């Protein structure tokens, strides 16, 4: 299981113009076929973009929040 804290990818605020750089770093950190948990203070557009980029790369993607707890975005584990 790999935890990716999205607010570590930028300083003051996320920039849409930097999205390709964020995605490249996140894909490298996520690897292939792993269970990924996304967390951290980040804009919704960044969460959605990352989830889209990880679809087909991650076996399972979960959003973790102190308010909601864990929310499964997708799970491609056949078991």
pLDDT, one tens digit per residue, over 20-37 is 999 999 999 999 999 999
The reply to whether the predicted model has a pTM over 0.75 is yes
**How does residue 78 score in pLDDT terms, banded at 50, 70 and 90?**
confident
Q: Which long-range contacts (CB under 8 A, 24 or more apart) does 49-56 make?
A: 49/19, 49/22, 49/23, 50/4, 50/6, 50/22, 50/23, 50/26, 53/23, 53/26, 53/27, 54/26, 54/27, 54/30
Q: Looking at residues 52-71, what average pLDDT do you find?
A: 95
Q: Looking at residues 58-71, what average pLDDT do you find?
A: 95
Instruction: Evaluate if residue 52 carries a pLDDT over 90.
Output: yes
- Domain of 37 in residue numbering reads as 1-7+32-79
Q: 23 in a domain, yes or no?
A: no
Q: 19 in a domain, yes or no?
A: no
Total domains in the chain come to 1
> Using CA atoms, how far apart are residues 77 and 79, in angstroms rounded to an integer?
5
Q: How many residues does the chain have?
A: 79
């Amino acid at each position: 299981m790999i935890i990716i804290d999205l607010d570590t990818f930028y300083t003051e605020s996320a920039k849409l113009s930097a999205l390709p750089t964020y995605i490249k770093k996140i894909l490298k950190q996520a690897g292939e076929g792993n269970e990924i948990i996304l967390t951290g203070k980040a804009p919704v557009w960044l969460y959605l973009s990352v989830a889209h980029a990880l679809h087909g790369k991650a076996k399972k993607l979960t959003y973790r929040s102190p308010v909601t707890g864990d929310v499964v975005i997708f799970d491609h584990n056949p078991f």
